[in-house]
Structure 1
Amino acid sequence: MEHNPKLVSSEVAALWGAYMQNSMAYCIVQHFAAVNEDSDATDLMQSALTNCDYVVNEVKQIFEQENHALPIGFTQEDVYLNAGRVYSDLFALRYIKYMASAGAAAASALLEVLARKDIRDFFSATSAMFIKLYNNASDLLLKKGTFIRSPVITPMEKAEYLQSESFLSGLIGKHRPLTAIELAHISKNSETNSIGRTFVAGFSQTAESPEVRKYMERGLEIAAKHETVFREILVEDEVPMPSTWDSAISQSTDAPFSDKLMMFHTLGLNELSVTGYGAAIGASMRNDLVGDYTRLVAEILQYGNAGVKLMIENRWLEQPPQNVDREALRNRKA
Structure 2
Amino acid sequence: MEHNPQLVSSEVAALWSAYMQNSMAFCIVQHFSQVNEDPDHTDIIQSALSNCNLVVNEVKQIFEKENHGLPIGFTHEDVNLKAGRLYSDLFAMRYIKYMAAAGTAAAAALLEVLARRDVRDIFSKTSQGFMQLYNDSCDLLLKKGAFVRSPTIPPMEKAEYLQDDSFLSGLIGRHRPLTVLELAHISKNTETNSIGRTFVAGFSQTAQSPEVRKFMERGTEIAAKHETVFREILIKDGVPLPSTWDSTITQSIDSPFSDKLMMFHTNSLSVLSIAGYGAAIGASLRKDIGGNYIRLVSEVLDYADDGVKLMIDNRWFEQPPQNVDREALRKRRD
Q: Structure 2-normalised TM-score? A: 0.99
Whether 1:213 and 2:210 are equivalent positions in the alignment is no
Q: Is the 8 A contact 2:146 2:245 kept in 1?
A: no
Inter-partner Cα distance in structure 2 for 1:248 and 1:201:
11
| 1:160 partner letter | E
Inter-partner Cα distance in structure 1 for 2:101 and 2:246:
18
Whether 1:187 and 2:187 are equivalent positions in the alignment is yes
Q: Is the 8 A contact 2:108 2:127 kept in 1?
A: yes
Alignment deviations for residues 7-31 of structure 1 (CA, whole Å, 9 cap, x no partner): 0000000000000000000000000
What is residue 71 of structure 1 aligned with on the other side?
Answer: 71
What is residue 33 of structure 1 aligned with on the other side?
Answer: 33
Q: Is the 8 A contact 2:11 2:119 kept in 1?
A: yes
What is residue 19 of structure 2 aligned with on the other side?
Answer: 19
Q: Is the 8 A contact 2:29 2:48 kept in 1?
A: yes
SS in 1 for 2:214: helix
* Structure 2: unaligned runs, 5 residues or longer: none
Inter-partner Cα distance in structure 2 for 1:97 and 1:187:
15
Cα deviation, residue 245, structure 1:
3.4
Inter-partner Cα distance in structure 2 for 1:221 and 1:144:
29
SS in 1 for 2:151: coil
Inter-partner Cα distance in structure 2 for 1:19 and 1:245:
30
| 1:29 partner letter | V
What is residue 280 of structure 2 aligned with on the other side?
Answer: 280
Moved over 4 A (4+): none
Inter-partner Cα distance in structure 1 for 2:126 and 2:222:
33
Whether 1:150 and 2:145 are equivalent positions in the alignment is no
Inter-partner Cα distance in structure 2 for 1:172 and 1:95:
37
Whether 1:265 and 2:255 are equivalent positions in the alignment is no
Shift of the 33–266 alpha-carbon distance from structure 1 to 2, 3 Å rule, reads: same
Inter-partner Cα distance in structure 2 for 1:191 and 1:17:
24
SS in 1 for 2:86: coil
SS in 2 for 1:48: helix
Inter-partner Cα distance in structure 2 for 1:175 and 1:167:
8
What is residue 60 of structure 2 aligned with on the other side?
Answer: 60
Alignment deviations for residues 260-279 of structure 1 (CA, whole Å, 9 cap, x no partner): 00000000000000000000
Whether 1:204 and 2:204 are equivalent positions in the alignment is yes
* Structure 1: unaligned runs, 5 residues or longer: none
Q: Is the 8 A contact 1:195 1:245 kept in 2?
A: no
Inter-partner Cα distance in structure 1 for 2:174 and 2:247:
35
Inter-partner Cα distance in structure 2 for 1:224 and 1:149:
19
Cα deviation, residue 315, structure 1:
0.1
Cα deviation, residue 170, structure 1:
3.7
Cα deviation, residue 242, structure 1:
1.0
What is residue 117 of structure 2 aligned with on the other side?
Answer: 117
Counterparts of residues 174-323 of structure 1 (less than 5 Å): 174-323=174-323
SS in 2 for 1:196: helix
Inter-partner Cα distance in structure 2 for 1:164 and 1:246:
42
Range 52-61 or range 166-175, more displaced = 166-175
Q: Is the 8 A contact 1:78 1:257 kept in 2?
A: yes
Q: Is the 8 A contact 1:150 1:187 kept in 2?
A: yes
Q: Percent identity?
A: 77
| 2:253 partner letter | T
| 1:48 partner letter | A
Shift of the 230–259 alpha-carbon distance from structure 1 to 2, 3 Å rule, reads: same
| 1:240 partner letter | P
What is residue 104 of structure 1 aligned with on the other side?
Answer: 104
Cα deviation, residue 176, structure 1:
0.3
Whether 1:159 and 2:166 are equivalent positions in the alignment is no
Inter-partner Cα distance in structure 2 for 1:244 and 1:280:
21
| 2:138 partner letter | S
Q: Structure 1-normalised TM-score? A: 0.99
Q: Is the 8 A contact 2:111 2:120 kept in 1?
A: yes
Inter-partner Cα distance in structure 2 for 1:232 and 1:226:
10
Inter-partner Cα distance in structure 2 for 1:151 and 1:210:
40
Cα deviation, residue 224, structure 1:
1.0
SS in 2 for 1:153: coil
- CA-atom RMSD in angstroms: 0.6
Alignment deviations for residues 44-89 of structure 1 (CA, whole Å, 9 cap, x no partner): 0000000000000000000000010000000000000010111000
Inter-partner Cα distance in structure 2 for 1:262 and 1:297:
21
Aligned residue-pair number: 334
